[in-house]
Structure 1
Amino acid sequence: MKMYILIKDDVPTKMAPVIAAHASLACYKKYKDDPDMIEWVNSIFKKVVCKVDEKEFQNSLKDGKYVLLTESSLDNREVAVAFVPRVEFTKQFRFFKMWAPD
């Protein structure tokens, strides 16, 4: 099982680590009683952080069971989404680029 955290590609690099940390915590808090979250917390606790463009970001929201993050210092715009951990994600997740500093 793994949690996917998707960060928009136009988010400043220096903000990404904190946004990813907030995303995982916000997702846990929202779904702490979800059976998949409980299993994940009690197992390997794997997370995958990816950099996505706007189209990929919007398409990913079709997968459900997620939490959206906004950033006040960026005019409260959406900057990331974290998905409840699960064994299988839709095929699109396999093609997202791993986040790495520029």
Structure 2
Amino acid sequence: MYTNRWEGLDEFVAVAECGQFTAAAQRLGVSSSHVSRQIVRLEERLQTRLLYRSTRKVALTEAGQTFLHHCQRLQDGREEALRAVGDLASEPKGLLRMTCA
């Protein structure tokens, strides 16, 4: 079965930064059940627990702290790549001919 290796990373970062599934879901514009499912699947793929869950908030495990650091770097790199391509797309293109009399 094919698994998108990026799946769940944005949800994980949002939960880690917001401290709650509901706040993370609102930030991402999805349901909290979607966020929860993505985190469970991510933990299953990694075969480790990333978050300690309580009824009111979540906390990162040691593995979660390490993973968060790397995920944030990946997100920064992704945004930088998108900006770089966007900058190229906005540069003037074509041939400019000038004549002098």
| TM-score w.r.t. length of structure 2 | 0.25
| TM-score w.r.t. length of structure 1 | 0.25
| Greater relative contact order structure (CA < 8 Å, 6+ sep) | 1
The structure richer in strand per residue is: 1
Bigger Rg over Cα: 2
